[in-house]
């Protein structure tokens, strides 16, 4: 999606350690108008999939999922990364590893929010090594629900998480696909 690529070229910054900083529009400050265009595009891509729920993971996925959900007219469920006192004991849990935090965590969803009758669209901001997305797919499958696919804003294709998941049959739509990036040579997108 041209809009996302242009936004990345204009407003992001490449940090050391292969981190793309998009904090002024996607995961710290949120450009709501931009998220709206993203939501519209996810709806265009998945509008014929009979989505009944959107699943994402805290925190950065929540904004994107909520704005997109307005087009699908479905609820959002966000997986939690820690067990709070208000989570029931009846939950699904999957191990994952954070790229930006560098730690392992469990993605947790209460069982009551994933029914076998549901068809899920999964939404997240980044796809790099694919650990978070794989955890979300697994949560849905444990419950016997259907997965229509995943809508991702930025994929780093050179980290191959997306490739592996697609090989396993998942439909993944990424709005901007980064083939390479470095502070010296900048960002190159997949054509």
Identify residues 47-66 at the interface with a copy of itself (CB under 8 A). 58-59, 62-63, 66
Q: Among the candidate windows 40-48, 99-107, 134-142, 163-171, which touches a copy of itself by CB under 8 A?
A: 99-107
**101 lies in the site for a copy of itself, by CB under 8 A:** yes
**122 lies in the site for a copy of itself, by CB under 8 A:** no
Tokens standing for residue 39 = 């939501």
Which one, 102 or 169, has the nearer CB to a copy of itself? 102
Alpha carbon separation from 166 to 14, 69, 163, 182 (Å, rounded): 27, 24, 5, 26
Classify 8 as helix, strand or coil: helix
| Given 8, 35, 51, 147, the residue binding a copy of itself (CB under 8 A) | 35
Nearest to 51 by CA among 79, 71, 80: 71
**93 lies in the site for a copy of itself, by CB under 8 A:** no
Give the integer Cα–Cα distance in Å for 114 and 92.
9
| Given 38, 41, 43, 80, the residue binding a copy of itself (CB under 8 A) | 80
Give the integer Cα–Cα distance in Å for 188 and 101.
25
Q: Among the candidate windows 18-26, 141-149, 171-179, 182-190, which touches a copy of itself by CB under 8 A?
A: 18-26
Q: How far is CA 45 from the centre of its chain?
A: 15
**77 lies in the site for a copy of itself, by CB under 8 A:** yes
Q: Strands 13-15, 19-21: parallel, antiparallel or unpaired by DSSP?
A: antiparallel
**17 lies in the site for a copy of itself, by CB under 8 A:** yes
**14 lies in the site for a copy of itself, by CB under 8 A:** no
DSSP state of 81: S
Give the integer Cα–Cα distance in Å for 163 and 17.
22
Is the separation of the CB atoms in 148 and 46 below 8 Å? yes
**30 lies in the site for a copy of itself, by CB under 8 A:** yes
Q: Among the candidate windows 2-10, 26-34, 138-146, 152-160, which touches a copy of itself by CB under 8 A?
A: 26-34
Site residues (CB under 8 A) for a copy of itself?
15, 17, 19-21, 23-24, 27-33, 35-36, 58-59, 62-63, 66-67, 69-70, 73-78, 80, 82, 84-88, 100-102, 109-110, 112-113
């Amino acid at each position: 999606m041209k809009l996302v690529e242009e936004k990345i070229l204009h407003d992001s910054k490449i940090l050391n350690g292969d981190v793309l900083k998009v904090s002024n529009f996607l995961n710290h400050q949120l450009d709501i108008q931009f998220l709206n265009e993203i939501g519209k595009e996810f709806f265009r891509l998945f509008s014929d999939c009979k989505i009944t729920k959107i699943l994402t993971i805290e925190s950065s996925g929540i904004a994107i999922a909520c704005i997109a959900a307005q087009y699908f007219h479905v609820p959002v469920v966000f997986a939690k990364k820690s067990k709070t006192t208000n989570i029931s004991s009846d939950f699904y849990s999957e191990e994952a590893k954070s790229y930006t935090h560098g730690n392992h965590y469990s993605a947790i969803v209460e069982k009551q929010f994933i029914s076998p009758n549901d068809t899920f669209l999964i939404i997240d901001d980044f796809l790099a090594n694919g650990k978070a997305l794989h955890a979300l797919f697994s949560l849905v499958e444990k419950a016997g629900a259907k997965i229509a696919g995943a809508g991702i804003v930025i994929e780093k294709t050179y980290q191959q998480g997306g490739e592996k998941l697609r090989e396993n049959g998942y439909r993944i739509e990424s709005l901007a696909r980064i083939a390479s990036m470095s502070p010296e040579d900048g960002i190159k997108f997949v054509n």
